[in-house]
């Protein structure tokens, strides 16, 4: 498995609000045997234990609970829970693991609580987290002992993305809608897919609480208004009845869907990903994935996905990486591929060792290098 299989999902004409375009994703039929519900934690940050002496700290307003028990009547929730008043300080809620099976009085249930998007972001932050595998002379003691700890990346909450809140509030939800593609200035910002239309209606407002990348924030703020979908039907002698007009309108809609499907495939479906299995839920599997970090691909996403026994997407959530984040991933991969040897890595990149040191410093990893190595690069 290295690509996303969106079989059964089709794109419908999108709606626009300023620079934001929301494109509904419709299912032929709901994904059998899986439901999602929303779990609200309220304002504050979450600290998650991800391993021995390793923690993940981020803004965690909510979680998702995946239920594969088959009892769909207990799975969907509606509306949003709000706390009273404003906290004087920002609370920190501690979570055990990013994905954890639920149990009641010691009896394990067929439910899994996971933190949406944070699974994917933790996978990106953990990329070669331990640092140099070989103690070359150029690396500092901190690099050897602590690796890339601490590692941090910036993101924006949905309510900080210009126009997104209004778009989510005003746009209509299709009866068969099980997902949405979020575009900012007609650049793909995020994809969100759930198993059932009722799940989507319950989770649609949660998009405003999700995290979005720096590039998405910039595109929404500086980008101009995008054109709305319009079906243009030319005057024709063949359009003599309402049935003819309806058929022409459907043809325009199919043409738009086909064109958008091609564009969507090029941006999200065609690229290959590196998958890491997080949890198996009988016939469903929760994965998180990373892109190739190839410098030749303009749009690259990290994300998490739940697939069925045929590998088809039942749940999906993605995060668009910025150019700087792609460069950091590309640099870490190259260093890892050459055992963190600066000379061999520089040769593979077609550059000098001094230029590679500058790249490492510009990427924010200067603490990994000895001070003498940095001074040589600056000189």
Q: What φ, ψ does residue 352 adopt, rounded to 5°?
A: -95, 165
Q: What is the pLDDT of residues 3-38, one digit of tens each?
A: 899 899 988 888 889 899 999 999 989 998 999 998
More confident residue, 199 or 49: 199
Q: Mean of the per-residue pLDDT values for the chain?
A: 84
Q: What's the confidence (pLDDT) of residue 302?
A: 95
Residue 147 clears pLDDT 90, i.e. is over it: no
Residue 60 clears pLDDT 80, i.e. is over it: yes
Q: What φ, ψ does residue 63 adopt, rounded to 5°?
A: -135, 165
The band of 74, judged by pLDDT with boundaries at 50, 70 and 90, is very low
Q: What's the confidence (pLDDT) of residue 94?
A: 67
Q: What's the confidence (pLDDT) of residue 82?
A: 39
The band of 96, judged by pLDDT with boundaries at 50, 70 and 90, is low
More confident residue, 231 or 309: 309
Q: What's the confidence (pLDDT) of residue 71?
A: 58
Q: What φ, ψ does residue 35 adopt, rounded to 5°?
A: -135, 155
């Amino acid at each position: 498995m290295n690509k996303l299989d969106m079989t059964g999902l089709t794109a419908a004409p999108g709606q626009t609000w300023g620079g934001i375009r929301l494109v509904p994703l419709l299912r032929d039929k709901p994904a059998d045997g899986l439901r999602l519900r929303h779990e609200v934690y309220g304002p504050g940050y979450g600290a998650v234990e991800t391993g021995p002496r390793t923690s993940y700290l981020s803004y965690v307003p909510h979680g998702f609970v995946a239920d594969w028990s088959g009892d769909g009547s207990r799975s969907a929730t509606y509306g949003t829970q709000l706390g009273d008043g404003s906290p004087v300080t920002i609370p920190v809620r501690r979570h055990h693991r990013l994905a954890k099976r639920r149990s009641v009085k010691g009896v394990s249930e067929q439910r899994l609580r996971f933190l949406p998007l944070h699974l994917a972001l933790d996978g990106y932050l953990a990329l070669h987290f331990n640092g140099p595998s070989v103690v070359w002379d150029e690396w500092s003691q901190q690099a050897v002992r602590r690796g890339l700890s601490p590692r941090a990346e910036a993101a924006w909450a949905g309510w900080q993305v210009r126009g997104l809140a209004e778009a989510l509030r005003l746009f209509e939800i299709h009866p068969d809608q099980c997902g949405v593609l979020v575009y900012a200035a007609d650049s793909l910002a995020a994809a969100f897919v759930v198993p059932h239309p009722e799940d989507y209606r319950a989770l649609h407002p949660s998009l405003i609480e999700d995290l979005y990348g720096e590039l998405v924030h910039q595109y929404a703020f500086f980008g101009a208004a995008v054109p709305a979908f319009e079906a243009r039907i030319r005057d024709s002698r063949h359009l003599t009845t309402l049935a003819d007009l309806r058929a022409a309108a459907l043809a325009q809609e199919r043409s738009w869907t086909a064109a958008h499907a091609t564009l969507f495939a090029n941006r999200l479906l065609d690229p290959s990903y590196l998958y890491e299995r997080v949890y198996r839920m009988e016939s469903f599997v929760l994965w998180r994935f990373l892109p190739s970090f190839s410098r030749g691909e303009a749009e690259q996403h990290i994300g998490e996905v739940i697939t069925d026994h045929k590998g088809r997407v039942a749940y999906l959530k993605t995060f668009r990486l910025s150019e700087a984040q792609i460069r950091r991933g590309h640099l870490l991969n190259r260093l890892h591929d050459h055992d963190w040897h600066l000379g061999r890595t520089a040769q593979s990149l077609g550059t000098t060792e001094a230029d590679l040191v500058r790249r490492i410093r510009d990427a924010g990893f200067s603490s990994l290098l000895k001070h003498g190595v940095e001074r040589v690069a600056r000189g």
